[in-house]
Amino acid sequence: MSSTVLKHVLACASIAAFNIPAAAKQAQPLLSCEIVKTERDALKQAPKGVRRVSKHVLEIPSRTGPQRFVDKPPHDEGEMGGVHWRYCGYDVHAKAHLIELIDESSYSGDLLLGETGQRMRTGHTVLFSPNMKAFLAIKQEAGVDGENWTVQDMSGNLIWTGYAGTVAKNFDGVEMVVSTFERPRWTEQGELTARFVCTSSNAYGTMTLVRSPSGRWSWSGHAKCP
């Protein structure tokens, strides 16, 4: 499958599940390759020095030196494999760039911190906490019905990661999606909330990512789906 076709398939699936209300988009620091239509538009608003060195090489400056994102062939429509990068935007408060990554296995992205030069594999969408100490990253794996979410701090330390939903095995032992997660949002207190939607009944509710006394992070408030 070509990178173009894969991107279309994964993006359609991602757009359907990643549904942040317009008010949340305005109020919360957000970088998303879902929103940016073309790299040309993103580059026009990028900090000085962000540029295409060549058709398949993107260069972004950082305090530790320029970082290069190099596409890997094949580049032609209809070819298998390949790795392709696209510049999606910059958040001035986080001092971070988001670069889309498309390959044959996923629709994801890298977050590059301009102040430190640190580069993290995150997702096609990154939603920062109000205090800029953590973020939620969303990516789509090929062949997976739903998204994968990862919560990290700005140093890259993992807080929580997993499938954005719940699954259970049916009588035949086949895993079925019981609920999906959508509309992630950080509260002013720095808590990450989201809505769960039951697939069988369309029942829904709000849940919050909380830390137990043992230090383990998990979602609280998810009701049992029929």
pLDDT of residue 158: 97
Per the structure, the complete domain to which residue 84 belongs is given by 3-220
C-alpha span between 15 and 5 (Å, rounded)? 15
Using one digit for the tens of pLDDT, what is the confidence trace for 84-114?
999 999 999 999 999 999 998 899 999 999 9
The pLDDT of residue 143 is: 84
pLDDT at 219 over 90: yes
Rounded to the nearest integer, the mean pLDDT of the chain is 87
Residues 6+ apart with CB under 8 A from 215: none
Give the 3-state secondary structure of residue 137. Answer: strand
The tokens describing 79, both together, are 């070819």
Determine the pLDDT at residue 81: 78
In this prediction, residue 2 has a pLDDT band, given cuts at 50, 70 and 90, of very low
Average confidence (pLDDT) over 5-10 = 36
Using CA of residue 154, residue 155, residue 160, residue 162, what is the dihedral sign?
positive
Nearest to 127 by CA among 191, 74, 77: 191
Segment 57-68 shows an average pLDDT of 96
Q: What is the pLDDT of residues 168-205, one digit of tens each?
A: 988 888 889 999 999 999 999 999 999 999 999 989 99
Residue 154 lies in a domain: yes
In a domain, 54, yes or no: yes
Contact partners, residue 64, CB within 8 Å, separation at least 6: 116, 117
CB 219 within 8 A of CB 193: no
In this predicted model, which residue has the larger pLDDT, 126 or 23?
Answer: 126
Q: Which two tokens stand for residue 105?
A: 């296995």
In the structure, how many helices (H) and strands (E) does the chain have?
3, 17
35, pLDDT greater than 50? yes
Question: What's the CA gap between 71 and 2, in Å, rounded?
Answer: 13
Beta strands per DSSP E along the chain: 30-32, 51-54, 57-60, 67-70, 84-91, 96-102, 106-113, 119-121, 125-128, 134-141, 148-153, 158-163, 165-169, 175-186, 192-198, 204-211, 217-220
**pLDDT beyond 50 at 13:** no
> pLDDT for 144-172, tens place per residue?
889 999 999 999 999 999 999 999 988 88
The mean pLDDT of 5-21, rounded to a whole number, is: 38
Residue type, 30: L
User: Residue 226 falls within a domain, yes or no?
Assistant: no
pLDDT at 7: 40
The reported pTM is 0.85
Number of domains making up the chain: 1
CA distance 30 to 72: 28
Residue 225 lies in a domain: no
